[in-house]
Structure 1
Amino acid sequence: MVIERNDTDVLILGAGGAGLFAALHALQADPDLDVTIAVKGLLGKCGCTRMVQGGYNVALAEGDSVERHFMDTIVGGKWLPRQDLAWKLVETAVVRIHELENEIGCYFDRNPDGTMHQKAFAG
């Protein structure tokens, strides 16, 4: 068996929402980068984002906060997540969801009052 070798500057494993968003940000940071996305299924038809029907965890609701989202992430992960990375995730989630919607064109369900529809996820 011959193993094929590919050289790349950035290798992204997975083509769900996070993987594709990472590729976009890498190329925005440096358009000369050679970015490779490795996916085991059909691009756009596989990945966790498709399986959760577009769910995205973010603290947007009245009474919610980045701190609460952080603790939900840490406790839901049984204290295994790296806290510095978990904080970065929840701290930037609000900015990212607006970027996904306003710049990328992702559609998120809305409530009758125009706010983003939210639901609890497992964890």
Structure 2
Amino acid sequence: MLKVAILGGSGYTGCELLRLLLSHPNVKITAVTSQKLAGTLVTDIFLNIRNTGLKFELMDLKKLVKKADLFFLCLPHKTSQETVAFLHKSGKKVIDLSADFRLKSAAVYKKWYATPHNYSPLLK
């Protein structure tokens, strides 16, 4: 069973990802984070999801690395760079669905976002 955490799970992307992963027979969702909704049952926010018992929690990476093997990031622009770097150093697998690692070139990233990418060696 693959233990999965969804970081930034309160938006549309996080909701759809959660819905899909809940039906996967080999995945166990161990955490869903939201800074604004921490402590709230996921089912109170997403009415299309039922009976999970999951609550949104704060994104405390030191605690979360102990709870999951794979991390999906659905975070706002410029938020996932440090998170990906921390998880990478911790030996965790990461799938970033946000914008920070969408582009493969630091130069192209700077052109589109008018800011340098702080972890360009992790761009692939």
What band does the TM-score fall into relative to the shorter chain? Answer: under 0.3
Superposition TM-score, scaled by structure 1 size: 0.27
Tell me which of the two structures has the higher relative contact order, counting C-alpha pairs closer than 8 angstroms and 6 or more residues apart.
2
Higher helix share: 1
